Amino acid sequence: MFRKLIIPALLSVLALPVSAQTIERIKETGQLRLGFRVDAAPLSFADGDGNPAGYSPIVCGELAQGVTNALGLENLNVSFIPVDSTNRFEMVANGEIDLLCGAATITLGRREIVDFSVPTYVDGTAVLQPRDASGDLTKLAGKPVGVRTGTTTEEALNNTLAASGLTMDVVTFDDHRDGMRAIIDGSIEAYFADQSILLFLISASQEFENYRVSPEILTVEKHGLAMERGDSDFRLLIDGLLAEMFLSGRMQEFFRLALPGAEPGKALQAMYVTSPTIP
């Protein structure tokens, strides 16, 4: 695909003599090192054999082919390196990996140590309910709802309830699958979690037809691919390739591959529309 879609802007970065440390390293070593989260399904995780799986590794696999073509390399050795939530950004900043392909929200605090690509995914708190539910959250007042304990979603839900004056019986779970089982057996009326997680849970459930995930999200978290800070040429290369993938519809295809049967929510659809344009 990328043999025909290389754009002039990508080729122009190769002529710049400064600030091209990642590109030069890739050209000299013939290696591209991609970090991936092993525990952030469905966006990035290790499958049963320990191999990278999920939306972000799929995106980065396509990017690797684009980098190979854009740099005119005959061969590129692409390695996926496992990372976790405690070391992922440090490994990028230390040059141990060239690109972080996980589930990383773009924040100003994180941009103090790494740079990010243009947004590749939009996530946020959503709600899972029976398909015949009205979707009106005020109707959950006084009823039992679930959330995973110790998460930003739990904090966001409690803050939202406090600000709105609504009262719900919030039941916490140690595992998202326990929450899924609780809503199926009727112990709770709704379950709150990141939209991507809920889509993953419902797509893997035999109860798929009986439940739905809200297309709206209560919080907005824009995800991007982290890279070494200050390397504008490599960022331009990656952003240009991502722009091609948005334009060709490949990013939508990757969503369907990672979450078969699910449909992008409104925030994701907006990201597709507002993705970078190509001159």
Domain residues for 162? 125-213
Instruction: State the CATH number of the domain containing residue 233.
Output: 3.40.190.10
| Cα(198)–Cα(191) distance, integer angstroms | 9
Q: Which two tokens stand for residue 99?
A: 């690109």
Q: Please give the span between the terminal C-alpha atoms of the chain, in angstroms, as a whole number.
A: 19
279 in any annotated domain: no
Asked whether residue 177 falls in the same domain as residue 230, the answer is no
Query: Going residue by residue through the chain (279 aa), what tens digit of pLDDT does each one get?
Result: 333 344 444 444 444 333 459 999 999 999 999 999 998 889 999 999 999 999 999 999 999 999 999 999 999 999 999 998 889 999 999 999 999 998 898 999 999 999 999 999 999 999 999 999 988 989 999 999 999 998 878 988 998 899 989 999 999 999 888 999 999 999 999 999 999 989 888 887 777 788 999 988 888 989 999 999 999 999 999 999 999 999 999 999 999 999 887 888 888 999 998 888 877
Confirm whether 3 is domain-assigned. Answer: no
* Per-residue b or e along 250-270, where b marks 16 or more CB atoms closer than 10 Å to that residue's CB: bbeebbeebbeebebbebbee
90 and 208 part of one domain: no
1 membership: H or E segment, kind and range: none
What is the rounded distance in angstroms from the CA atom of residue 44 to the CA atom of residue 225? 12
- Of 268, 276, 202, the residue nearest 244 (C-alpha): 276
Q: Indicate the length of the chain as a whole number.
A: 279
Give yes or no: residues 155 and 18 share one domain.
no
Q: Are residues 115 and 15 in the same domain?
A: yes
Please classify residue 144 by burial: count the beta carbons closer than 10 Å to its beta carbon, then call 0-12 exposed, 13-18 middle and 19+ buried: middle
Contact 55, 68 (CB under 8 A): no
C-alpha 172: how far from chain center: 24
Helix (H, G, I), strand (E, B) or coil at 275: coil
Show which of 183, 213, 243 is a domain's final residue. 213
Q: Are 16 and 62 members of one domain?
A: yes
Whether residue 134 is found in the same domain as residue 109: no
Domains in the chain, number: 2
In 3D space, the residue among 140, 141, 131, 67 whose CA is nearest the CA of residue 101 turns out to be 67
